[in-house]
Chain A
Amino acid sequence: MMKTNNVILETATKVIVFIILLFSVYMFFAGHYEPGGGFIGGLMASGAIVLLLIAYDIKTVTTILPFDFKKVTAVGLLFAAGTAAGGLLFDKPMLTHWFTYVNPPLLGKMSLHTAVLFDIGVFLVVVGVTMTIIQTIGESE
């Protein structure tokens, strides 16, 4: 079968992918005070990658993002488990979190919370698992 010319889809993808990725990052950081968080952020980020997969093909996407997504999942789990076990090092129960307020120059008053590290873990696991599923099904004949 001759490959159809997908110039409109590909051009639109180039713009839209960044918007989706930005929105996923926004959702990720909004999680503490508003709806959002690691799970939906991760799903949306993998949605962006899936759009790339639709517009191009698996080979192109693996050149753009040369990750082994199974290892991305494992790194995510390490983040989550590490945050969970981190409390033990400070003689507190597992999964104890800390936060502090900082006043960086431009951004104004903001709170930094160790739960974000846990959420990064969730984000990576979701991206890793979704992409592993899709790539595995896509590649198998």
Chain B
Amino acid sequence: MNSLITLPLLIPFFTAIILVFFAKNIPVQRWISTIGSISTIIAAVFLAITVYTDGIQTMNLGNWEAPFGITLVSDMTSILLVLTTSLIAFVCLLYSFRSIGKEREEFYYYPSFFFLVLGVNGAFTTGDIFNLFVFFEVMLMASYVLLVLGGTKIQLRETIKYLLVNIISSGLFVMGVAYLYSVVGTLNMAHISLRLHEMGQSGIVTVIAVLFLIVFGIKGALFPLYFWLPGAYYAPPAPVMAMFGALLTKVGIYSIARTYTLFFTQDVGYTHGLLEILAIFTIILGAIGAIAYSDVKKIIIYNIIVAVGVILFGVATFTPESLTGSVFYLIHDMIIKAALFLLIGIIIKVAGTSNLKEMGGLIHRYPGLGWTFFIAALALSGIPPLSGFMGKILIVRAGIDAGNYWGSGIVLLSSLFVLFSVMKIFINGFWGEAREYKQQEKVPVKWLLTAPVILTICAVLYGLGTEALYPIISTAAETLSNPEIYINAVLKE
């Protein structure tokens, strides 16, 4: 029995539960969470190897046959995302040890952290649409706690907005599932796909597709539903911000990619055309935000929105090549966004401000920080040997092959603006004369810096190892572009 598939869910779950018992004992909490996090990574690696050698892994929970019970499905896409999530969680945890502060650690920071990991891993692994909703809620509730924990004024204000938006979108999600259930009469994702393909094209399915796009668009910050994100992500402390920026929107994107490749493939001209237009507007609006602000946090936050647009443009083009590009870019973006958020967390800590105009000359005191940021910034914008290149080139090439010159042109141009926005941080923050900082003596950043350095090294290796990774990721995209593989693996016909 392939019990391996449950481990990326069960390990964070048990870790979170056990951590509740040691709420006041911070050293014990740190040890338990380190062990839990490392074993999640190990389990994910083994599962990835199994999926690569033996194909898609499934488990019917409670030993009920496929369409009747809940099925956990781990195909290449989801296991790669689970692996990336576990890695980012571990790195953010290392960063949290030195930065989050005693008062947050004593009030269930680590249990909430692991419930977030559980929710994200679960959402990537599940093969049941209602179970996806439940894991969304697990993830969101943990994120509410992490967002508000600490209770500063800005956190309280932004949590109210974030809570309100997400409750409404969860309500819409339930409505979407209810409509879908009344049309197809099943909740298992493979079975839904099968039924929808048997039914053929009908208007109500397109309506449901758009409703799902709205729901996941709110979760994944798609134009015009991204309005809540810049404020909400501005509030929490750096490691939480890194977790949010790297994971939460990506679950929305994954859900769009999953539903739009598995379910709604009948009326591609309308649904994917709509997605394409929204993706392009997302890129434009994100790029405008990224160059407009001179606040380091805001710049990186708007870069999330640009990346959401780029990935979804690849999904909307809907060819094997563009889907490969999307998966490539999705994983790259998770890693590099976490690295950048952690880096600007350090920058804000040493400069004492998040305003670019009050910074300058950081490179003299913190060369390691400066060059790591430089490499991460180049990787973000997709300079060839680094990680962002391959995904974007595939997306652009597939877009041009599909005759979509405008969209591809905008994706290419967005790279320029992204590069401009992060180089603005580098030039204004690191070059020039050193300003008067609030702290006169050097802030020790060595330990904090290890976390983003690990991620940046991963990003560089990811870029250099493109050749080796390409077959793995094209396997992932093959499952996306060819739903029969998924359906056969789950329903075993």
Residues of A at the B interface (CB closer than 8 Å) are 70-71, 73-74, 77-78, 81, 84-85, 87-88, 91-97
Contacts and interface: CB of A to CB of B under 8 A. Distances in A.
A94 B21 CA distance: 24
B21 A88 contact: no
Nearest to B61: A95
A93 B20 contact: no
Given A85-B10, A91-B1, A78 B61 contact: no
The 3 closest A-B pairs by CB, nearest first: A74-B20, A95-B62, A88-B3
By secondary structure, the B interface counts as helix
A78 B15 CA distance: 10
By secondary structure, the A interface counts as helix
Interface string B447-461: 000000000000000
A73 B20 contact: yes
Nearest to B60: A93
Contacts of A87: 62-63
20 contacts: A70-B20, A77-B20, A78-B17, A81-B10, A81-B13, A81-B14, A81-B17, A85-B10, A87-B63, A88-B1, A88-B3, A91-B1, A91-B3, A93-B1, A94-B10, A94-B59, A94-B61, A94-B62, A94-B72, A96-B63
Contacts of A93: 1, 3, 59-63
A95 B3 CA distance: 12
B372 interface: no
Interface of B: 1, 3, 6, 10, 13-14, 17-18, 20-21, 23, 59-63, 72
A78 B60 CA distance: 22
A76 to B, nearest CB: 9
Given A70-B20, A70-B23, A81-B13, A92 B1 contact: yes
Contacts of A70: 20, 23
A97 B64 CA distance: 11
Contacts of B3: 88, 91, 93-94
Contact of B20 (A71, A91, A95, A97): A71
Contacts of A94: 3, 6, 10, 59, 61-62, 72
Contacts of B10: 81, 84-85, 94
B223 to A, nearest CB: 38
